[in-house]
């Protein structure tokens, strides 16, 4: 296994297309389907693969670069079929649309506008272009803007496609200089517990808990409740335009705070030797929520997914890998004795009724996440936890990070490392 791998990311965007050019793009994706089907049919008939692109181009009304990329995709599917016995032979009767594949600056172009947007131009047909601006996740737009302005990133192949009736562009970007280390080669695991008003971090190495911190952001919870109340009032008054304006302000405020917190997480993690940041995989968490209307609204609007995503891509820029673990029992398990059924959590206080260990509840969860990260992604033995460092809390405010009073609940300073089995440098 290599010590690192090139940083390659696929960024997904919606296309805000000018005028009525969406129909032109749709027709081009139908033509791409025809190119794909014909390439598969010719390959099945035994036609020399080297001449298939020219044969297909005779009947296709797409730009040459797109034809070459779609044919390459079709022949790649045929190659997989011949290489692996368990592959089904590719069909040459695909229905619907097929993505337009193109190289950067050959089949499509991107540029920054004076308004800070990313403009696109896609060569849908010869001498016919589809133009507009990209819309999508703020984190993906940040990465693409960085790639457009920095020589350290290369913009590669993209696919223009229709998904659920909406036009999209998927762009591949590659780091020209930086790499992301394989998570298996990490020496420190940083467990991250994301909550409604804070994020708890614990750095666990082979021999000890290196450090721990709780970063608070109570203003997100406060602002969301405030904007929710304001929107309800203007909605009841029938002023929908003000409702949309308030919603946009809330989104921008929350996004700004989450970006600041995610930068803090990455910067804090960088102080440790070969860190790997570990998150809980909470994709299915919302499916089982039913705690009443008010609580459901609060829990469904938890920013955990956005914060995890912002942290993940910022960590990638810093060469730090990220990993995901099953969240089961991370908030209930005692990090000292491992009991789950005899533990009690009340607000921010965790107390184990088996060994009487007391701790900051969110810090306790971050320790468990780090332990699970070692168990699932590392080959070294989890150290036996005898004591934990004092918890330090940091509050994120508009002016930056401010240290807040320490919360310990009888946590013991220092950390016992004697008697740890199976640990080696």
pLDDT per residue over 210-266, tens digit each?
Answer: 999 999 888 777 777 676 777 677 767 676 656 556 666 777 777 788 888 998 999
313 and 227 belong to one structural domain: yes
Please answer whether residues 104 and 110 qualify as being in contact, where contact means their C-beta atoms are separated by less than 8 angstroms. Answer: yes
| 118 and 188, same domain (yes or no) | no
In CATH, what number is assigned to the domain containing residue 373?
3.30.420.10
314/387 same-domain check: yes
Which residue among 178, 201, 229 closes a domain?
178
Q: Please check whether residues 202 and 221 belong to one and the same domain.
A: yes
Cβ-proximal residues to 98 (8 Å cutoff; 6+ apart), any chain = 29, 30, 32, 33, 35, 36, 70, 161
Residue 203 included in any domain: yes
- Dihedral (CA of 46, 49, 54, 56) sign: positive
Query: Percentage helix, strand, coil, to 5, in the chain?
Result: 35, 30, 35
Two structure tokens written together for 380 = 């070294």
Residues 159, 241: one domain?
A: no
Terminal Cα distance for the chain, rounded: 18
Residues 149 and 236 in one domain: no
In a domain, 148, yes or no: yes
Q: Which two tokens stand for residue 401?
A: 């990070």
Inside any domain, residue 377:
yes
Residue where a domain terminates, one of 162, 178, 194? 178
Q: Is residue 419 part of a domain?
A: no
Beta strands at 275-280 and 209-216: parallel, antiparallel or unpaired? unpaired
| Number of C-beta neighbours around residue 403 at 10 A | 10
Residues 192 and 96 in one domain: no
Distances (CA, A) of 102 to 56, 157, 161, 182: 16, 6, 12, 30
Same domain, 157 and 202: no
Question: 10 and 92: one domain?
Answer: yes
Phi, psi of 194 (to 5 degrees): -95, 130
Q: Of 226 and 134, which is predicted with more confidence?
A: 134
Classify 285 as helix, strand or coil.
helix
Q: Is residue 409 part of a domain?
A: no
Alpha-carbon span 383 to 13, nearest angstrom: 43
The per-residue pLDDT for range 69-101, each reduced to its tens digit, is 999 999 988 887 776 555 567 778 788 899 999
* Residue 421 falls inside a structural domain: no
Q: Is residue 241 part of a domain?
A: yes
**Which residue, of 178, 208, 237, is where some domain finishes?**
178
Range of the domain at 236: 182-404
Do residue 194 and residue 110 come from a single domain? Answer: no
How many separate domains does the chain show? Answer: 2
- Between 18-32, 198-212, 249-263, 387-401, the lowest mean confidence (pLDDT) is in 387-401
User: Is there a single domain that holds both residue 167 and residue 204?
Assistant: no
pLDDT at residue 98, rounded to an integer: 92
Does 326 map to a domain?
yes
The dihedrals phi and psi of 258, each to the nearest 5 degrees, come to: -65, -35
| Predicted TM-score (pTM) of this structure | 0.58
Strand order in the sheet with 343-346: 343-346, 349-352, 358-360
Which is higher by pLDDT, 297 or 11? 11
Q: What is the pLDDT of residue 211?
A: 93
């Amino acid at each position: 296994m290599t010590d690192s791998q090139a940083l390659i990311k696929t960024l997904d965007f919606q296309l805000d297309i000018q005028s009525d050019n969406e129909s032109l793009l749709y027709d081009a994706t139908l033509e791409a389907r025809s190119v794909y089907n014909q390439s598969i049919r010719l390959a099945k008939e035994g036609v020399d693969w080297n001449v298939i692109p020219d044969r297909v181009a005779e009947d296709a009304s797409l730009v040459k670069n797109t034809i070459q990329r779609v044919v390459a995709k079709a022949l790649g599917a045929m190659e997989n079929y011949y290489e692996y016995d368990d592959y089904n032979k590719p069909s040459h009767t695909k229905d619907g649309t097929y993505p337009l594949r193109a190289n950067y600056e050959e089949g499509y172009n991107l540029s920054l506008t004076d308004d800070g947007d990313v403009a696109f131009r896609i060569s849908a047909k010869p001498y016919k272009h589809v133009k507009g601006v990209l819309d999508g996740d703020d984190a993906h737009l940040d990465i693409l803007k960085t790639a457009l302005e920095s020589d350290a990133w290369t913009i590669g192949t993209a696919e223009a496609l229709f998904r659920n009736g909406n036009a999209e562009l998927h762009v591949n970007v590659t780091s020209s200089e930086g790499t992301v280390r394989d998570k298996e080669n990490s020496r420190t695991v940083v467990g991250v517990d994301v909550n409604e008003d804070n994020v708890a971090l614990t750095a666990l190495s082979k021999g000890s808990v290196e450090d721990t911190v709780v970063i608070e952001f109570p203003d997100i919870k406060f602002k969301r409740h405030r904007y929710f109340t304001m929107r309800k009032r203007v909605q009841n008054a029938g002023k929908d335009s003000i409702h949309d304006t308030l919603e946009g302000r809330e989104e921008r405020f929350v996004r700004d705070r989450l970006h600041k917190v995610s930068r803090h997480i990455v910067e804090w993690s960088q102080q440790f030797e070969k860190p790997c940041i570990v998150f809980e995989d909470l994709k299915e968490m919302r499916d089982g929520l039913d705690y009443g209307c008010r609580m459901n609204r609060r829990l469904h609007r938890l920013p955990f997914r956005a914060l995890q995503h912002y942290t993940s891509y910022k960590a990638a820029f810093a060469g730090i890998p990220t990993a995901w673990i099953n969240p089961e029992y991370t908030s209930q398990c005692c990090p000292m004795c491992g009991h789950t059924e005899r533990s009690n959590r009340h607000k921010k206080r965790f107390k184990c009724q088996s060994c009487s260990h007391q701790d900051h509840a969110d810090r306790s969860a971050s320790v468990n996440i780090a332990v699970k990260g070692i168990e699932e992604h590392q080959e070294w033995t989890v150290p036996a936890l005898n004591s934990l460092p004092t918890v330090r809390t940091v509050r994120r405010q508009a002016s930056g990070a401010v240290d807040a009073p320490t919360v310990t609940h009888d946590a013991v300073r220092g950390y016992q490392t004697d008697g740890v089995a199976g640990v080696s440098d």
